[in-house]
Amino acid sequence: MVKVQVKPSEPLEKALRRLRKICNNEGMTREMKRAAFYEKPSERRRRKRRERLKAIRLGRRR
């Protein structure tokens, strides 16, 4: 669960922006979008394979 403390003189928009940034970094928004629709098992396997290959490529770059 993600929590964002709103500072005393901080505008609400800035706190929302921080919350969205935290959710994006943790991959929550991507996961919610992915879970919104049914994904066939073959599509799931294909997506996971692409993600694995992407992680391998990024690991080689560093």
The structural domain count of the chain equals: 1
Residues in the chain: 62
Q: What pLDDT score does 17 carry?
A: 93
- Please state whether the predicted TM-score (pTM) of the whole model is above 0.75: no
Q: What pLDDT score does 54 carry?
A: 94
Question: Which tens digit of pLDDT belongs to each residue from 1-60?
Answer: 788 889 899 999 999 999 999 988 888 888 888 889 999 999 999 999 999 999 999 988
Query: Is residue 25 one of the residues assigned to a domain?
Result: yes
- Contact between 19 and 1 under an 8 Å Cβ cutoff? The reply is no
Query: Is residue 7 one of the residues assigned to a domain?
Result: no
Look at residue 37 and give its three-state secondary structure. coil
Look up the domain containing 26 and give its range: 12-61
Distance between CA atoms of 18 and 35, rounded to whole angstroms?
A: 23
Q: What pLDDT score does 45 carry?
A: 96
Query: Is residue 30 one of the residues assigned to a domain?
Result: yes
The yes-or-no verdict on residue 62 having pLDDT over 80 is no
- Contact between 54 and 37 under an 8 Å Cβ cutoff? The reply is no
